[in-house]
Amino acid sequence: MFVLSFLFILLIFFVLFLASISIILSFVFILIFININFNFFYYNHKAKLSDITYIKNTLKFIVKMASLTLGSKYELKITTRDNLKYCGDVFDSTLCKCLYLNNNYEPSVTEYLKKTLKKGDIFIDVGANEGMFGVLAGKLVGQTGKVYCIEPLPRNISILKKNIRINNLNNVIIYDVAAGDENKDVSFFDIKINNMLGGAENIMTTLLSKIPGMVQLIKVKQRRLDTLINEPLDKIKLIKIDTEGYEEYVLKGLDTWLIGKCSIDFIIEMNPSKSKYITDLLLNKHKYTGYMHWMDSVAYNDNVNWERLDINCNTQKNVLFTKNRWEN
């Protein structure tokens, strides 16, 4: 009788343990799934449910997402319409998952790079991630141009190097540092598994950091761009900055470049109403003109329609700052 009672109690503890693990894993999965779908359903909120194209795209998105989640694919190898190659896997590659789900990634930025960058230009990608724009820029600027990819996360750097290699690029320089306003050491969280949450610091990573084993602390060097990169300013055509809310400090770390007749274009992922320093610096002090477009990493369609920047806009946008004559 004692043995049976002991086994029964042991069974109860085992069932409770399994239930606890299931609840934790379900919670993590729900957080990740919500985050993945957030881009699609939030940034396409203007689409009407009666729109057949919207319904079709939504269904395709859900089916593809389910196939990834259930593991019918693991290794992802994507070739874009521009004949660029990207590799990754279901668990670690944010970029490949976005390309697989929608065949495109931030068309507003992609099209501006294709329109703006010419042979011999220099492009700086701050927060280069896995190299979507670094690889494209490498092709556009050619052997006489250069691309600088600034990326602090080891996971992203590994995939970034692969993507540069499989596209046979030798004009892309990688700096595994964080860009900021001071030369110092910094640390931040990184997701250990199934990284579909973007960069280092955001609400989702903060939530997941409360779960043991879900995140790890990454320590990297931070550098000012104006001390890290030594290039003629008239050759630097465009700087893209996507640093999870740290964009202001990246700009402070290149302020010496803005002195004089600086004509560098900037594309910055930001919330205009919460980025007063950036808008004051570029619009008022340095007389740039601003335009904005949705951050369309899981785009509803490829239509690109930049509109004049509204500094009171309170949603995250890709914001273009330029002094050049603009044709949308």
Whether the per-residue pLDDT at 137 is higher than 80: the answer is: yes
Whether the per-residue pLDDT at 235 is higher than 80: the answer is: yes
- Sort strands 122-126 and 146-150 into parallel, antiparallel or unpaired: parallel
State both tokens at 197: 């949450």
Question: What's the mean per-residue pLDDT of the chain?
Answer: 81
What is the mean predicted confidence (pLDDT) over 50-67? 64
pLDDT tens string 277-319? 999 999 999 999 999 987 765 555 566 778 999 999 998 899 9
Q: pLDDT-derived band of residue 196, with 50, 70 and 90 as boundaries?
A: very low
pLDDT at 218: 82
Q: pLDDT-derived band of residue 179, with 50, 70 and 90 as boundaries?
A: very high
Distance from first CA to last CA of the chain, Å, rounded? 81
Cα distance between residue 215 and residue 199, in whole Å: 12
CATH number of 105-190+219-322: 3.40.50.150
Q: pLDDT-derived band of residue 29, with 50, 70 and 90 as boundaries?
A: low
Cα distance between residue 229 and residue 257, in whole Å: 11
pLDDT at 213: 61
Nearest CA-CA partner of 33 in 217, 298, 294? 298
Task: Please state the domain extents for the chain.
Answer: 105-190+219-322
The rounded radius of gyration (Å) of the Cα atoms in the chain is: 22
Whether the per-residue pLDDT at 13 is higher than 80: the answer is: no
pLDDT at 244: 84
pTM: 0.80
Whether the per-residue pLDDT at 11 is higher than 80: the answer is: no
Cα distance between residue 262 and residue 102, in whole Å: 36
Whether the per-residue pLDDT at 49 is higher than 90: the answer is: no
The residues near 32 (Cβ < 8 Å, ≥ 6 apart) are 194, 196, 197
- Cα 280–chain centre separation: 25
